């Protein structure tokens, strides 16, 4: 997995480990995929949230998937041949944007480390890129179970 980072600093190593572990756990063709992870401030994430979701508030993480994968299945690269980035030869699954101030506040609120919160937000965003959602209760249970399994593999706990 090729990951393009913006403003993430030293947490890029954590993000890369989370993404690689998740993709392996899910059986995804990681060496053929790319994505971006950006860290922004509250003003920037509120602007993105309003522009793309019509919600005028700060949020912790936004995901912008480039693929439609509603069954959360393993990506078959042949099905997405026209979506391959011509510059890299990799399939771009989308962008994850994290609000650092919100991550810090949530880490404090939930009584765990910023490392744990950032790992959770990167993973949560990635799962959205791969078709997971939590609008319906059943989907939420499935997504959160997968998140818990992956965080447990990483030995990242609250």
Mean pLDDT score, 117-128 = 97
54-100 confidence digits (pLDDT tens): 999 999 999 999 998 888 889 998 999 999 999 999 999 999 999 99
pLDDT band at 124 (very low <50, low <70, confident <90, very high): very high
**How many percent of the chain have pLDDT more than 90?**
87
- pLDDT in the model for residue 73: 87
- pLDDT in the model for residue 70: 80
- pLDDT in the model for residue 72: 86
Question: 112 lies in which domain range?
Answer: 2-153
Q: What's this model's pTM, rounded to 2 decimal places? A: 0.95
Tokens read off for 32: 């053929």
Residues with Cβ within 8 Å of 82's Cβ and at least 6 positions away in sequence, in order, are: none
pLDDT at 29 over 90: yes
- pLDDT in the model for residue 65: 96
Mean pLDDT score, 116-134 = 96
Please indicate, yes or no, if residue 158 is contained in any of the structural domains: no
- CA distance linking residue 69 with residue 72, whole number of Å: 6
Give, for 36, the enclosing helix (H) or strand (E).
strand 33-40
- pLDDT in the model for residue 71: 81
Mean pLDDT score, 145-158 = 94
Residues with Cβ within 8 Å of 131's Cβ and at least 6 positions away in sequence, in order, are: 65, 67, 68, 69, 70, 71, 72, 73
Please indicate, yes or no, if residue 16 is contained in any of the structural domains: yes
Q: How many structural domains compose the chain?
A: 1
- pLDDT in the model for residue 158: 76
What is the average pLDDT score of the chain?
Answer: 95
CATH number, residue 109: 3.40.390.30
pLDDT band at 156 (very low <50, low <70, confident <90, very high): very high
């Amino acid at each position: 997995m090729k990951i393009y980072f913006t403003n993430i600093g030293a947490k890029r190593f954590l993000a890369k480990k989370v993404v690689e572990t998740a993709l392996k756990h899910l059986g995804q063709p990681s060496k053929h995929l790319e994505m971006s992870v950006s860290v922004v401030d509250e003003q920037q994430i509120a602007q993105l949230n309003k522009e793309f979701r019509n919600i005028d508030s700060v949020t912790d993480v936004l995901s912008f998937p480039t693929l439609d994968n509603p069954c959360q299945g393993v990506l078959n690269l042949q099905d997405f041949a026209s979506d391959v980035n011509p510059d890299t030869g990799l399939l771009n699954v989308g962008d994850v944007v994290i609000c650092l101030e919100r991550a810090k506040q949530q880490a404090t609120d939930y009584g765990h480390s910023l490392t744990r919160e950032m790992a959770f937000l990167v993973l949560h965003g990635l799962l959205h890129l791969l078709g997971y959602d939590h609008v319906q209760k059943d989907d939420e249970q499935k997504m959160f179970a997968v998140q818990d399994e992956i965080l447990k593999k990483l030995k990242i706990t609250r």
